[in-house]
Amino acid sequence: IVETILERMIRYQQIVGGHFPYSTIEQKSCIMPLKDNPKLDALMGIIETIPKDKKAIIWARFVPEILMIAAALESIGESYVTYRGGMADDERERAQRTFMEDDGPRFWVASQQASARGVELASASIHLYYSNSFSYDDRKQSSMRTSSSHQKSKSILYVDIVMNHKIDKQIVTALQRKEDIAEYVIGEIKRGQT
Summarize pLDDT for 170-179 with one digit per residue, the tens.
Answer: 999 999 999 8
Summarize pLDDT for 7-27 with one digit per residue, the tens.
Answer: 888 999 999 999 988 888 887
Whether 53 shows a pLDDT value over 70: the answer reads yes
pLDDT at 154: 74
Q: pTM to 2 decimals?
A: 0.89
Q: What is the mean pLDDT of the chain?
A: 89
> How far is 175 from 139, CA to CA, in rounded Å?
8
Task: Please name which of 47, 63, 68 lies closest in space to residue 114, comparing C-alpha atoms.
Answer: 63
Q: How confident is the model at residue 190 (pLDDT cuts 50, 70, 90)?
A: confident
pLDDT at 88: 87
Summarize pLDDT for 105-125 with one digit per residue, the tens.
Answer: 999 999 988 876 678 888 999
